[in-house]
Structures are given as C-alpha cells and as structure tokens.
Amino acid sequence: MKLGTMRWAALLLASLTTTPALSATVLQCVPYARIVSGVQLYGDALTWWDQAENHYRRGHTPRKGAVLAFRPVGPMVLGHVAVVSKVLDDRRILIRHANWSVPGAIEEDVLAIDVSEDGDWGEVRIWHSPTGQMGARSNPTFGFIYPDKPQLHPFRPDPALGGSTRFAGMDMPKDDPEDAEAVSLRKASVARKPRLAMDMRAIRYADATPSARSLRDIIADVKREAALR
C-alpha cells in the first residue's frame, strides 16, 4: 500500500472519534474561514458570534460570503465556522469549511440543510464527504455573520496553519462565475482528491471491534488485505 493511502486511512479513522479535531497540528476551521470570507475575527469559533457585535452585521438569512457560526455541542466543544459559497434555496446552501469530516480536511461547496423547526437556520445538517452523504447529527448555530464586502477568497495550504487535505467538493453551478485563480485552485484540488475505496475498508475494520484493537492493528489489517488483492 502506498504511504499516501495509509496516511489517508489514518486520517479517516481518527475522524470517527474526533470531529472536529482540536489538535494544533492540523488546519482549524477558524483561520480557513477568516481567509476565505475576509471576516477579521480571531479566537475560538464559539466566540465569533459575540465578537461580531458592533463590527459586522449578523442575522439568520444565508448570503454568499457570510460566515455561519456554530454553537458548541458534543465533541464540538469550541464551536465551528463555515463560509456560505452558494444559496440554493430557503433551506439549502453550499458551504466551504475545514476540520469537519476529517481532521484538517478542507471541504469546498458541500451541502448544508436547515433542519430548524422555525426555518431560521438555528439547526443544520452538514454533508459528510468520506461517506458521501448528509451527516446524521443536527448542529445548533448562532446565525450568519455578514462581511462588509462579501467575496470568496481562494485558500492556499500553509504549513504554518497546520496540515490539510482537500476533498473534491460538489460542482458549482455554471452560472456562478469565480475568479480565474480560485477556479484553478479548485480544479487542482479535485485532481488531488484521495481515493476512498481503501478508506472505507479501514472504517469497516474500525467498526468491527473498536475497543479491542489499536489504530496500528487496524492499518496493519488493511495493508495485509491490500497485499492479497
């Protein structure tokens, strides 16, 4: 098995127990959202909503370029932030964010659905790229933070911000043009998308007896299976 495949399997296995990750060794959601949206807020994601008061307009209506601020819940103890890249309708948007489905991973233009009773985006479900389906967990949010000049900025991987891997995002509608540099970066990220077939086998191993087997044992089994094929 190639080293890159092994590394990706390890990342996916880690995501089973840590979503999103808190380690400083991987790209976090905050610097990613700050760069992509241009919203100049700092500190943990759970503080962004209060920080935005008197600096940025806030609301409960999705707009392109706005930051969706998540409340802390469950393992997401520091909250989360994502950037709206496209409004599809009253209940569906596309977002760009980091460190959600897999530690450090960047997911671009993936689906978020409003599942709140009042239709105010107070609770959402988010696309889970490794499994190719909507996540089962409902996530409470504070609302949207609107930048002064809404614009989607390209993100370049930066080791100083932590390690990252890009998932290929959903295709953007053809009538929604982006600047040439952003399009070039997105095409490059699609070309580098890791294959997930082996990763899914690793997850099946992990689900078998998670309490009795270490990550090293799981990866060793995946490697042995690959050698037999």
Mean pLDDT for each 10-residue chunk of the chain (229 residues)? 48 42 75 97 97 96 98 93 97 96 94 96 95 92 96 92 80 49 48 37 34 53 56
> Which pLDDT value is given to residue 216?
60
Q: How many residues does the chain have?
A: 229
> Which pLDDT value is given to residue 17?
36
CB 36 within 8 A of CB 152: yes
List of residues 6+ apart from 145 with CB closer than 8 A: 39, 41, 48, 49, 52, 56, 57, 58, 66, 67, 69
- Residue for token pair 């990342």: 11
Backbone angles phi, psi at 156, to 5 degrees: -105, 130
Where would I find the H helices in the chain?
A: 3-15, 29-37, 48-52, 180-191, 197-208, 215-228
Question: How many other CB atoms are there within 10 angstroms of residue 45's CB atom?
Answer: 25
> Which pLDDT value is given to residue 74?
87
| Three-class DSSP category at 72 | coil
CA 61/CA 39 separation, integer angstroms: 17
Domains of the chain: 19-191 (3.90.1720.10)
143 exposure class (CB count in 10 Å sphere: 0-12, 13-18, 19+): buried
What does the block give as tokens for 143?
């609302």
- Beta bridge pairs of residue 57: 146
Question: How many other CB atoms are there within 10 angstroms of residue 218's CB atom?
Answer: 22
> Which pLDDT value is given to residue 170?
58
Pairing of strands 123-128, 67-70: unpaired
Name the pTM for this structure: 0.67
CA 46/CA 23 separation, integer angstroms: 16
CB 222 within 8 A of CB 13: no
